[in-house]
Structure 1
Amino acid sequence: MKLDPVQRRILALLQKDSTISTQNLAEKVGLSSSPCWRRVRELEEAGLIRGYVALLDRRKLGLETCVWVRVKLKKHSADVLDRFEQAVKGCDEVIECYELLGETDCLLKLYLPNLEALSSFMHNFLLKIPEVDVTNSSVALREIKNETALPL
């Protein structure tokens, strides 16, 4: 779907504050409420807007530690990857998971309370997955940038 300038502005504003009223959104993009509402619905129906969420402060929830875990699988086959994916999808500590090209097969992003929780995650979950061969973890010292808004 090719976006026009109004649609881009709507998406940019909703990425910053999805609780904005239709009236305020309409005023900011130069439309009346009804056409603005229809534009938002079109963007939702086209799948450009997948949903609306509340962004939580992980630190205030006690999730102080951000960890990246690189995983190398024992074999490269569809069934091995499928079993690994199913295990990871069922784990709440894994915030993001990517399949990669190169020496690492998958990259996991975790938010955990502390390093003890990382040890528990590794020993009680990740290293118990039969498909996992080698892991390598990196702990973030500090967060420099973490945005949710996509560049439009």
Structure 2
Amino acid sequence: MSEIDDIDRRILTELQRAADLPLDQLGERVGLSRNACWRRVKSMEASGVIRQRVALLDAEKLGLGLTVFMQIKAARHDAEWLERFARATRTMPEVQGVYRMTGELDYLIRARVADMKGYDRLYQRLVAKVPMGDVSASFVMEEIKETTALPL
């Protein structure tokens, strides 16, 4: 972990709330001058603590109202299968996260689609690209909490 102090943590907390916050306001909120804030932000960007700044979009308003978690069991456990699976999932814009897991399943995919037909199209494309041992899915009925903010 990079060395960050309490002021850096406060800067990061504010940026996680609003990455487009003007430096003057950011400085006021954390008790630093505009220039001191700018230097710290640039330093955290250079070290990789801040990877990038993005806009968070409303999936519902964009017609992507269904979140699905796909539980995958690999057809094989070798480097070739893993590379093929990684390549396939990276090219699918609906797929928001892919995680290699411990326990009964091998991989967990988090995806956003419009509806069940959208899920079926995603499923059909995935299994056409990569042989699967087993695929099951769970659909989100209610989002109770979703955040990108890390606990600082």
Same fold flag (TM > 0.5): yes
Aligned ranges for residues 1-152 of structure 1 at < 5 Å? 1-123=2-124, 125-152=125-152
- Distance in 2 of aligned mates of 1:142 and 1:44: 35
**3-state SS of the aligned residue for 2:69?**
strand
Structure 1 segments of 4 or more deviating over 6 A?
A: none
**RMSD, aligned CA:** 0.9
- Distance in 2 of aligned mates of 1:2 and 1:143: 34
TM-score (norm 1): 0.96
- Distance in 2 of aligned mates of 1:2 and 1:52: 20
CA deviation map 1:38-68 (0-9, x unaligned): 0110110110001110100000001111100
Unaligned runs of 5+ in 1: none
Count of aligned pairs between the two proteins: 151
Deviation at 1:117, TM superposition (A): 1.1
Task: Say if 2:84 and 2:130, in contact at 8 Å, map to a contact too.
Answer: no
